[in-house]
Amino acid sequence: MSTDTDTETQNLTLVQAVRDGLRTEMQRDDDVIVLGEDVGKNGGVFRATEGLYDEFGDDRVIDTPLAESGIVGTSIGMAAYGLRPVPEIQFMGFIYPAFDQIVSHAARLRTRTRGRFTCPMVVRAPYGGGIRAPEHHSESKEAFFVHEPGLKVVIPSTPADTKGLLASAIRDPDPVVFLEPKLIYRAFREDVPTGEHTVPLGEAAVRREGSDVSVFTWGAMTRPTMEAAENLADAGVDCEVIDLRTLSPLDRETIVDSFEKTGRAAVVHEAPRTGGLGGEITAILQEESLLYQEAPIQRITGFDTPVPLYALEDYYLPSPTRIEDGIREVVDF
């Protein structure tokens, strides 16, 4: 599964693993350059780049003017030249000025030049709700980028995966949108390999094996989904929980195999329901495994509303109770 250079580990939070992943890849490859708003001297508003400015200097950790389109557009130029830029967008809700650069250029530079120019760039952004943040700081719009051919989309849910997936994304020859679940940036620690560590893109992880129902999720929703699964286990329902980790390209094989074992499925995501990845996963199961299906597939998701200001966000985000309720609908059908 993962490739490590040694067996030493450090006990890190997810955001520390981001930093460690960046640092390890920057030590490995001089072409890796971090740029964005407040990533240098300040070490990032979430401290994800803390210490990198002092270690690598201002040629490799670049504080930029406040300009998302400029940050990503500049990164595309650097990537076309042959560097490996890792631009940070401070919050996913502020990525939209860069949307044109990402979808019109990063995603298709390879296609447009038949590989003469490529865009090995990783756009990092914290995403998701649940931290009582101000407006526009809680978005989960991964589906926008999954919808764009030419991009890869990755969302880790554990510290070790964060480091390993980030390293793979940086080494990947194509542009990757790397979304970090800020709700769990500091929620727990895990042993993370100290040296080089990669986790391949495009492979889901089975977080809990089970026989009654397959529950597909990713990122910050993995924890409440696991909590719901444990509660249901006490009630005699055996959930298999699959953390997709890479949303584009999807690991269709793991998704289908699990469903063909259980015959029942739910998808949990905090993004709005309509046009979210739940629909795509459901369609894959319809295409591949219709005859295994024993119940309607449930989507347990954010609502088709803007993320509300934080007084109501607990109602918006799928909670363990809501996830449990949805899984029961599938199992009791």
Partner 1 sequence: MSDVFDRDPDDRVRILDESGELVGDLPDLSDAELVDLYRYMRLARHFDERAVNLQRQGRMGTYPPLAGQEAAQVGSAMALDPRDWIAPSYREHAAVHVHGLDLADILLYWMGHGAGGWRADVNVLPAAVPIATQVPHTTGVALASKLRGESEGSDSPRKTGEAGDSEESRSSDHRTKSGDAVACAYFGDGATSEGDFHEGLNMAGVFDVPAVFLCNNNGWAISVPRERQTASPTLAGKAVAYGIDGVQVDGMDPLATYEVTRAAVEKARTPGDRPRPTLIEAVQYRFGAHTTADDPTVYRDEAEVEAWRRRDPIPRLERFLRETGRLDDAAVEDIEASVRDQVSAAIERAEHTPRPDPDAMFDDVYAGLPPALRDQRAYLHRLRDRHGDDAFLKD
Q: Which residue matches tokens 């109602």?
A: 315
Would you count residue 54 as binding partner 1 (CB under 8 A)? Answer: no
Distances (CA, A) of 141 to 68, 91, 126, 155: 16, 11, 11, 12
Q: Which amino acid is at 289?
A: S
Please tell me whether residue 178 adopts helix, strand or coil conformation: strand
Compute the least distance from the CB of residue 86 to partner 1, in Å.
Answer: 18
Which position among 105, 137, 197, 269 bears the catalytic label? Answer: 137
The DSSP call for residue 207 is E
Would you count residue 136 as binding partner 1 (CB under 8 A)? Answer: yes
Would you say 186 and 14 are in contact if contact means Cβ atoms under 8 Å apart?
A: yes
Among 81, 188, 303, 333, binds partner 1 (CB under 8 A): 303
Compute the least distance from the CB of residue 109 to partner 1, in Å.
Answer: 20
* Candidates 33-41, 119-127, 158-166, 275-283; binding stretch for partner 1 (CB under 8 A): 33-41
Among 147, 189, 261, 322, binds partner 1 (CB under 8 A): 322
Among 57, 77, 115, 134, binds partner 1 (CB under 8 A): 134
Compute the least distance from the CB of residue 232 to partner 1, in Å.
Answer: 14
Among 31, 38, 230, 288, binds partner 1 (CB under 8 A): 38
Complex with partner 1: residue 31 or 63, whichever CB lies closer: 63
Burial class (CB in 10 A: 0-12, 13-18, 19+), 290: exposed
Complex with partner 1: residue 117 or 310, whichever CB lies closer: 310
Among 30, 66, 111, 211, binds partner 1 (CB under 8 A): 66
Would you count residue 93 as binding partner 1 (CB under 8 A)? Answer: yes
User: Measured in whole angstroms, how far is the alpha carbon of residue 178 from the centre of its chain?
Assistant: 6
Which residues, 242 to 281, sit near partner 1 by CB under 8 A? 273-274
Sign of the dihedral defined by the CA atoms of residues 1, 285, 278, 262, in that order:
negative
* Candidates 1-9, 22-30, 241-249, 310-318; binding stretch for partner 1 (CB under 8 A): 310-318
For 251, residues 6+ apart whose C-beta sits below 8 A from its C-beta are: 202, 203, 204, 244, 245
Question: What is the C-alpha separation between 320 and 297, in angstroms, rounded?
Answer: 18
Q: Which residue matches tokens 């949303």?
A: 247
Among 2, 9, 69, 194, binds partner 1 (CB under 8 A): 69
**Binding-site size, partner 1 (CB under 8 A):** 44
Would you count residue 310 as binding partner 1 (CB under 8 A)? Answer: yes
Q: Which helix (H) or strand (E) holds 222?
A: helix 222-234
DSSP string, 34-92: EEETT-STT--TTSTTTTHHHHH-TTTEEEPPS-HHHHHHHHHHHHHHT-EEEEE-SSG
Complex with partner 1: residue 35 or 255, whichever CB lies closer: 35
Would you count residue 97 as binding partner 1 (CB under 8 A)? Answer: yes
The DSSP call for residue 164 is H
Distances (CA, A) of 77 to 14, 58, 111, 315, 332: 30, 18, 16, 42, 54
Question: What is the C-alpha separation between 241 and 235, in angstroms, rounded?
Answer: 16
Would you count residue 99 as binding partner 1 (CB under 8 A)? Answer: no
Would you count residue 313 as binding partner 1 (CB under 8 A)? Answer: yes
Would you count residue 63 as binding partner 1 (CB under 8 A)? Answer: yes
Among 96, 99, 117, 292, binds partner 1 (CB under 8 A): 96
**Does 105 qualify as catalytic in the annotation?**
no
Would you count residue 37 as binding partner 1 (CB under 8 A)? Answer: yes
Residues near partner 1, by CB under 8 A = 37-38, 40-43, 45, 63-70, 93-94, 96-97, 132-137, 273-274, 303-306, 308-316, 319, 321-322, 325
Q: Which are the catalytic amino acids? A: 137
